Amino acid sequence: MPSNIAFRWLSLVAVIWLQSVNGTNTNFPAYSSQLKHLLSLSQIQVNNLAFASDAAKLLGWLSGIAAVYLPLWLVLLIGSTLGLVGYGVQYLFLTNQISSLSYAHIFCLTVLAGNSICWINTVCYVVAIRNFPSNRQVANGLTTSFQGLSAKIYTDIVDVAFNSSPTKRAQGYVLLNSVLPVIVSVICASLAKDVGAEGITDMKFGLFAMFIITIITGVYAILSSFKSISRNILSPVGILVGIYVLLLLPLVIPLIEKLIVEREKRVHVLDNNVSLEELESGDKAEEEAREVVKEEEVGVMEEIGVQVMVKRVNFWLYFFVYLLGVTLGLVFLNNLGQIAESRHYQGTSYLVSLSSSFSFFGRLLPSLLDFCFSRSRYMISRPASIVASMAPMVIAFFLLLIKTNLALYISTAVIALCTGAITTLSVSTTTELFGAEKFSINHNIVIANIPIGSLLFGYSAALIYHKHANGHGKCLGMECYAQTFIVWGSLCFVGTLLALALYFRTRKFYSTRVNR
């Protein structure tokens, strides 16, 4: 059993590593402007590439089905291979090693690369849910937060290895996007698996320690994102080493947990004069009973499949809340490079790094609150938390109408924070509203709205940008995105009202869960 405990925590560490390199699409704003110049693209074509990555989520359900019938390690390797091909061929083209690549080819390769994220995400979700059934919301939120850190990690590596010209940096991002997920997937393939229910013990210490490490990582990421602070203390190499050390630090949790369990068993054997075999037999029965109780406490509204789910009013409310919340935030972050350029802001990579760091904390915050207050009467429901997360986004979109770098910083941080929070909340919400049994398929249906919103919101923004652009297709000035920010802010307000409606419709269910 002790070894089972160690493997359970090692699987969580593996998921953290996978998520930390799986947000390959989040670093697109850092090199989109360079890509635009390298390939002589219009803003609409650049937007279409951002949409291509999101469009891949329309096929995300394939990874959900694969996770049901195939070993998780195989699903993981399939996903990373898709990314290797999608980004790898683009890298060969950008470095002039192949020359017969059209824009249509690049679009299709970007779709392929974007789909790889779905496969790795599915493995991460399934591992967290199966190995931490009584703490699945906490485990999923904690690990998912590291995907918000991906752009920061990639930027730090590029700062060290490719910090020469904008062209080299763009090539560096694409190269890293292709090879880094594969390398990490190969390392984690044997760890990211279903350990089973045997050996589940009290996990509060391990989760608490994991939260402490994660919070320290997030604070470090934010501070090192501010050039004025970090560059006076650490070099780019020092910043990158610090991130690596913090990502390796969770490895101490499996070791400590194993030592604690073995020590408790020895003490119990000595105090009660029983054999280790008898103790393990009694512990196993006790833990299985405890697990049944905890599973009942988690609770879901109902276990349903896709065909039933799409007929429910709650699903469509939830679908449009996600569309006008997370998806809208992601479209903003995808266009961050062009938004910064239009405002004459130099240093887009630092802005992307800042958004990545705040997205990290946004993804972590719901799980931290759930861990601390899940049994408290002050803990609000997931739909209420989504309402609380969307309201600041409305203000942030309108704040972008102010022509100052400070307004850009604040709005970017708030939108990244809230988008990250709703992303984490949605994983738990999907489970609670529609069940955990078919989660891998149901949630991929929910996030299918991302490519829809990416096309609608991104394309309209590109048209407005193009309307104000000069003869070379570049737009400089506040008018490039002013109308877009007004539309996005208004849509986000509508989404907040829909989230409020979802809250009232599910209030009885969540109040029942709290009173258990």
272 occurs within a structural domain: no
What pLDDT, on a 0 to 100 scale, did the predictor assign at position 202? 60
pLDDT band at residue 290 under the 50/70/90 scheme: very low
What pLDDT, on a 0 to 100 scale, did the predictor assign at position 393? 96
Provide the angle, in degrees to the nearest 10, between the axes of the packed helices 150-161 and 348-373.
140
Domain total in the chain: 2
Last residue of a domain, one of 218, 244, 263: 263
Number of residues written out for the chain:
516
pLDDT tens profile 451-507: 888 889 988 888 888 888 876 678 888 988 999 999 999 999 999 999 999 999 988
Distance, CA of 242 to CA of 352 (rounded, Å): 19
Element (H, E) at 98: none
> Based on the domain organization, do 132 and 208 belong to the same domain?
yes
Higher pLDDT, 407 or 374: 407
> Based on the domain organization, do 114 and 195 belong to the same domain?
yes
> Based on the domain organization, do 226 and 324 belong to the same domain?
no
Last residue of a domain, one of 263, 286, 318: 263
Distance, CA of 19 to CA of 292 (rounded, Å): 29
Distance, CA of 84 to CA of 181 (rounded, Å): 8
Residue 288 pLDDT exceeds 60: no
CA nearest to 198, candidates 135, 284, 128 = 284
Higher pLDDT, 255 or 93: 93
pLDDT tens profile 346-367: 777 778 888 888 888 888 888 8
What pLDDT, on a 0 to 100 scale, did the predictor assign at position 186? 95
- Find the domain containing 484 and state its range: 298-515
pLDDT band at residue 294 under the 50/70/90 scheme: very low
> Based on the domain organization, do 202 and 322 belong to the same domain?
no
Burial tier of 383 (Cβ tally within 10 Å: 0-12, 13-18, 19+): buried
274 occurs within a structural domain: no
Q: Is the dihedral of CA 418, 423, 424, 427 positive or negative?
A: positive
291 occurs within a structural domain: no
> Based on the domain organization, do 345 and 447 belong to the same domain?
yes
pLDDT band at residue 369 under the 50/70/90 scheme: confident
Last residue of a domain, one of 238, 263, 288: 263
282 occurs within a structural domain: no
Residue 300 pLDDT exceeds 60: yes
What pLDDT, on a 0 to 100 scale, did the predictor assign at position 414? 95
pLDDT tens profile 102-121: 889 999 999 999 999 999 99
275 occurs within a structural domain: no
The mean-pLDDT minimum among 19-33, 179-193, 221-235, 258-272 falls in: 258-272
Mean of pLDDT values over 262-289: 52
Q: Is the dihedral of CA 348, 343, 459, 449 positive or negative?
A: positive
What pLDDT, on a 0 to 100 scale, did the predictor assign at position 261? 66
Question: Is the separation of the CB atoms in 443 and 125 below 8 Å?
Answer: yes
Instruction: Say what percent of the chain tops pLDDT 90.
Output: 31
* CATH number reported for the structural domain that contains residue 36 in this entry: 1.20.1250.20
What pLDDT, on a 0 to 100 scale, did the predictor assign at position 318? 93
> Based on the domain organization, do 233 and 336 belong to the same domain?
no
> Based on the domain organization, do 314 and 173 belong to the same domain?
no
3 occurs within a structural domain: yes
CA nearest to 357, candidates 181, 155, 160 = 155
> Based on the domain organization, do 233 and 343 belong to the same domain?
no
113 occurs within a structural domain: yes
pLDDT tens profile 244-269: 999 999 998 888 777 776 666 666 55
Residue 280 pLDDT exceeds 70: no
> Based on the domain organization, do 246 and 317 belong to the same domain?
no
94 occurs within a structural domain: yes
> Based on the domain organization, do 313 and 251 belong to the same domain?
no
Residue 283 pLDDT exceeds 70: no
DSSP state for residue 193 in the 8-state scheme: S
Please provide the average confidence, as pLDDT, over all residues in the chain.
83
List, as own/partner pairs, every contact residues 235-240 make where C-beta atoms lie below 8 angstroms and the sequence separation is at least 24, other chains included. Answer: 236/156, 236/159, 236/160, 236/163, 237/160, 239/156, 239/159, 240/156, 240/157, 240/159, 240/160
Model confidence, pTM: 0.78
Residue 200 pLDDT exceeds 60: no
Mean of pLDDT values over 91-109: 88
Mean of pLDDT values over 400-415: 93
Mean of pLDDT values over 92-110: 88
> Based on the domain organization, do 181 and 249 belong to the same domain?
yes
> Based on the domain organization, do 324 and 469 belong to the same domain?
yes
What pLDDT, on a 0 to 100 scale, did the predictor assign at position 326? 92
